[in-house]
Structure 1
Amino acid sequence: MKARILFVCLGNICRSPMAEAVMRYQVVQANLGDQIEVDSAGTGDWHLGHPPHEGTRKLLDEHRIPHKGMKARLVTADDFDTFDYIVCMDTNNLRDVRKLLEIGEGGKEHAARKKLFTFMELLPSKGLKDVPDPYYDGNFSFVYELVDSGCKELLQRVKADLEQVR
């Protein structure tokens, strides 16, 4: 069995591709590339087909994390069936994904609880509800710190879930 993770932000050029690249790197470092797949998508269509933002690419390059070939895409309803974990970078993204998937407070909510959540739920001690969008404030370094820590937490969660399935 393979675990599939999708990170979602607004334009899919800053936060979610950073999380995708960092998570992929951590997965490879943990020798789990054959068990975990990672992707990212956005809720808005402004940057479709574009590579990650220059600020994201610069930070990834500084940390020697590959990002070549990444391009922005839209999240789709099919992603809910494809991915085991859909991790939204902020509460607005979570709202937009729920709307796309027609998930309200009832219905599919119980089944979706494990697979659809905000990134900062991985880091409750940080006291933040959302990963700030560096597109607006330019603070890519702070976002990288959050992403690196949160991906480590998510990797532990996914590894534990994979072990339960075996």
Structure 2
Amino acid sequence: MQSRYSVLFVCLGNICRSPTAHGVFQHLVSQQGLSGIVEVDSAGTAAFHVGAKPDHRSIKVASERGYDLKRLRARKVQSEDFHRYDYILAMDNENLRNLQEIMPDNPKARLQLFLEHSEQQRFSEVPDPYYGGARGFDLVLDLIEDASGGLLREIHQRLQQD
């Protein structure tokens, strides 16, 4: 019987997509009164930005929709994360492959693409907005909001079955 769930969102540098997912999903978890039941975190497959705040464009776009990312700091995913989290959700196929390469034997985590929880059918990966314009950050937030709703519904169902 499992009464707590933990989710780790992963992208490359942990400054755009995964902290956005972290902030959005944490907000939804809080709204649903599940803060003590669902743990949320984010990390990157590379150590480019360890300790850094999310990209200022991610912070701005998220803030415009009511999400606060300012307190988040980048970190690199660790092999222990596979035993700590129930879900490890990659933003794209490259990050999924990188995670598969470092995944230890007998992980607790369910490793998958985040957009497997999305209702939209156009995208299977969350595109990296880092080198693009503002529109890319809006698209990322749209996709993350959609997939976050699907993930939260799945966790609700699992909690009801426990």
| Cα deviation, residue 68, structure 1 | 2.9
Q: What is the percent sequence identity of the aligned residues?
A: 39
TM-score (norm 1): 0.89
Q: What is the CA–CA distance in structure 1 between the aligned matches of 2:154 and 2:120, rounded to whole Å?
A: 17
List runs of 5+ in structure 2 lacking aligned partners. Answer: none
1:160 aligned to which of 131, 135, 157:
157
* Aligned position for 2:118: 123
Which residue of structure 2 lines up, in the alignment, with residue 60 of structure 1? 62
2:16 alignment partner, one of 10, 14, 17: 14
Matches within 5 A, 1:1-166: 1-102=3-104, 108=106, 115-123=110-118, 125-138=120-133, 139-165=136-162
What code does the residue aligned with 1:4 have?
Answer: S
Note the aligned Cα RMSD (angstroms): 1.6
Q: Deviations over 1:74-128 (max 9, x none)?
A: 001100111000010001111000101157xxxx59x76xx11001211264232
> What is the rounded CA distance, in whole Å, between the counterparts of 1:3 and 1:72 in structure 2?
22
Paired with 1:151 and 1:129, the residues of 2 have a C-alpha distance of: 14
Residues in 2 aligned to 1:17 and 1:151: alpha-carbon distance in whole angstroms = 13
CA offsets 1:125-162 (integer angstroms, 9 cap, x no match): 42322110000223100110000111010000111112
Task: List structure 1 runs of 4+ shifted beyond 4 angstroms.
Answer: none
TM norm structure 2 = 0.91
Aligned pair count?
158
120-129 vs 41-50, greater mean Cα deviation: 120-129
